[in-house]
Amino acid sequence: MTSDATVSAIIPARNEEALVARAVDSLAAQPEIAEIIVVNDQSIDSTAAILAALAARIPHLRVFDTGSLPSGWVGKNYALSLGAERASGQWLLFTDADTAHLPYSAAHALADAQHSDAALVSYSPEQETHSWWERALIPFIFCRLAQLFSFDQVNDPASPVAAANGQYLLIRRNAYDSIGGHRAVAGEILEDVALARRAKALGHRIHFASGEGIVRARMYRSFSAMWQGWTKNLYPLIGTTP
C-alpha cells in the first residue's frame, strides 16, 4: 500500500441531528480521507439543515438524498450502496453517524491493512455509556459477542468465522466490487457480518480488532432505542430468535 492511498468515508444518516456533525468533523480532520459522503435517508428532523451547514465549510463533504426505498432493500444498505456508487476512493470507509473518529485513526486503519495484507479492516468501537442501563447492559452484550466472534478466529484465513462491525468497516474498493457490494446483501439486517462472510469466502483477508483509541460510539441514547436496536440485531447475530 502506498502513502497516497485515498479513502472515501460514507455515512448513512436518518434523523441524526444530535451526533452527525461530530462524526463529519472527526472524519474531516483525517488527511487520508479524500471525501466524505453523507446519504440523508429521508430524515424528518434537522439533519438536512445541519449537513448543509457542514458542507458550506467542509469542501470535501458531499450530501445526497436516498429518495424512495426500492423493494427488497433494507434502508441502511440502500443508503450505503448509493454512497459507494458515488465514491472515488481506493478504499471505502462505511461508518455511522453516531461515531467519533479519533486523530490518526484512518492512518492507523490503512497501516493495519498493510501489515495484515487485509482487504477489509473493521474495529469494534469504544462504547460511550452515560446512563446506568448503558453501563449495565452494553459491556455484557459486547462480552457475549467477543465470545462468539473472537478477533483471532476472524483474522485467521483458515477459519470459516467472519465478522465485522458496520460502525467502522474499511474495505478496498476492488474487493467491495468483487463481492457484489451492498447490492449482494440488500435485504440483510446484519449487512456488516454478511459482507465480511462474502469477503472471506472469496479469499479476502480480514483484520478485525478493538477500536480503542481509534473510534468511539454511543449507539443508543434511550432505553427504548436500545431495546429496539438489540432485539433487531442481537438475536440474529447470536443465531437465535426472540
Query: What's the pLDDT score for residue 39?
Result: 98
User: Apex CA 124: angle with CA 123 and CA 125, to 5°?
Assistant: 100
Strands 91-95 and 99-101: unpaired
Report the predicted TM-score, pTM, of the whole model to 2 decimal places.
0.85
- Residues contacting residue 48 through CB under 8 Å, at least 6 positions apart: 40, 63
* Low-confidence spans in the chain with pLDDT less than 50: 1-3, 240-242
Q: Which of 28, 177, 20 is nearest to 7 (CA)?
A: 28
- pLDDT tens across 16-48, in order? 999 999 999 999 999 999 999 999 999 999 999
Note whether 176 and 93 are within 8 A (CB): no
Query: What's the pLDDT score for residue 2?
Result: 41
Return the SS3 of 94. Answer: strand
Query: What's the pLDDT score for residue 208?
Result: 97
